[in-house]
Every structure is written in C-alpha cells, then in structure tokens.
Amino acid sequence: MKDLYDALIEGIPEDEPLDDILSTHYGAIAYSRGNIGLSEFRDGWDTRQMLDSGDKTGKTLRELAAGVKSWNFTEAAMGVAAMNAYYNSPEMARKNGLLISDHRYVEDRNADPFIAHQKAARGKKAVVLGHFPYMEQLLKPVCDLYIIDRFPYRGDYPETAIDYLVPDSDFVFIGVMYFLEKSLPRILELAGDAYVGLVGPVTVMSPILFDYGVDELDGFIPKNVPMLERIQKEQEYGKLYAAGEKVSLRKTEYLKFLEENRKGVGS
C-alpha cells in the first residue's frame, strides 16, 4: 500500500493549478480555481530548511501539496493548505457524497463528533489528541476520557502517553496537527480496531484516508473566501465556521454512497 501522504498527493490531478499561496502567523492559505484551502502551523518556528524554498509561482497544486512531507512545518502547512484547496472544495465534497448546503452558514450538530458519538461512547474508553470546544462537557460524563496534548492542561496527559493510552481504546479522536507532523500513521497503527476520527476545521476531507484506518473525517468546507482571508489574517478563529460549513464524512456512509452510485450507473 502506498504511503498515506503519497496517496493523498497523487490523488490531486497533475494539472490542478495553484493560483496563489499565502502564509500568515497562524497558518497558510492556498488558492485554486476559486477555491481556498486552509492549514494551521504546528509551531511558530522551524528547525529545518524548506525542501523547496523557491518561488511557488507556476507550481501546480500537487507540487505544493508534496510539501506536506517536509520536516519544515511551514512548508508542511503549505502542503496541507494545497490539499484542502482541492479535497475540501464544495465540488469535491459533493462528489464524495456530502450534502453541502447552498447557504453560506449551516449549523449541524451531527457534524460534531463529540455530540454524534455521545451515546456510542457510553461506558467506553475514548482518547482525544488535542483540545476541542465542549469536548470534556460532552464526553467526560459518559465515558472513560483521556486527553493527550503537546501542552497539556491540568488533568491531561503528555504526548509521551500516546503509546500507552491509544492501544485498547474504543474511540480515538485525532487533531489535525498530528497529520501535519507525520505522527498520524503511527497513531493509526496503535489504534488497531478502535473507531478513529480526524477532527478539526483543516482536516483533509479525502476518503483516501479511509484506506489507512480512519473511520470518520470531521472538518470544514469553505464558502466565503473574503471572510476566511480576513479571519486568517486577523486571527479571529472563533468566527471560522461562519464562513463555511462544518461537515462530517463517515466511512460507512461513504461506502453506502459509492454502492448506491454504482447501482444508479448500472440501472
């Protein structure tokens, strides 16, 4: 099987254009065919040089996306933004079976994994890598909850606990930073048969990830490009979801969508 990152890079057509790429203090913004892709930075500093520090003008979206494999996290963030400009576009979301609204703002509680899985997680072991709004209020009363973070709050576990807490879990929810820093494949291996979700507004919404042990993608489809630019540049992150749609793509639903599509084509 191909490396997870190579599979995502090669899933972007070779001729998909990169119109522009911008870096902000918080992340990167990639533009392609009127769509916008966002990413976050892992750190505000880098210890490694970029693999390709030259002018990005004239590159394709796939070429920029290849930067996700870099250990320079600024370059890796640009790679994630390029992936999201393709995979998180409304057009691709609809092709993958997501029912995207024509409205600019949609509130869907089922697209929040911590609401959607409250009942299923009852009495089970759930590990969450990263911090998310209302996560503790929603899950802690119903399950055995373990939170792991690079900068742990009181009661959290440090990242060194991943190898000890993730195995034998029933649910594992993973923040996108673990995708960016390339520890995701190892975490998926440790998760075994657990139900695994990738969570966060810059999650790469590609069903390719279902082939590597992911069961659910919880992310964001941008709709209002000018508003998103302003939010990124002015760091008004609490307003992010007002500029698009919070979405959830589950493996079971995606496979059902493919099956129904095949029947429709053959009938």
Do residue 83 and residue 112 come from a single domain? no
Do residue 72 and residue 123 come from a single domain? no
Rg (CA), the chain: 18
Calculate the dihedral angle through the C-alpha atoms of 47, 51, 57, 63, rounding to the nearest 10 degrees: -120
Number of domains in the chain: 2
Domain boundary among 40, 59, 87: 87
- Least confident span in 34-38, 181-185, 194-198, 224-228: 224-228
Asked whether residue 237 is domain-assigned, the answer is: no
Do residue 26 and residue 126 come from a single domain? no
Calculate the dihedral angle through the C-alpha atoms of 187, 192, 194, 198, rounding to the nearest 10 degrees: 30
Do residue 259 and residue 155 come from a single domain? yes
pTM score: 0.92
Do residue 64 and residue 115 come from a single domain? no
Residue 125 sits in a domain whose CATH number is 3.40.50.11590
Domain that holds residue 22: 4-87
CA–CA dist 162, 166 (Å, integer):
6
Asked whether residue 77 is domain-assigned, the answer is: yes
Cα 179–185–186 angle (5° rounding)? 115
Do residue 161 and residue 256 come from a single domain? yes
Do residue 124 and residue 207 come from a single domain? yes
Q: Is the model's pLDDT at 168 over the cut of 90? A: yes
Asked whether residue 242 is domain-assigned, the answer is: no
Do residue 262 and residue 130 come from a single domain? yes
pLDDT single digits (tens) 172-190: 999 999 999 999 999 999 9
Per-residue pLDDT at 156: 96
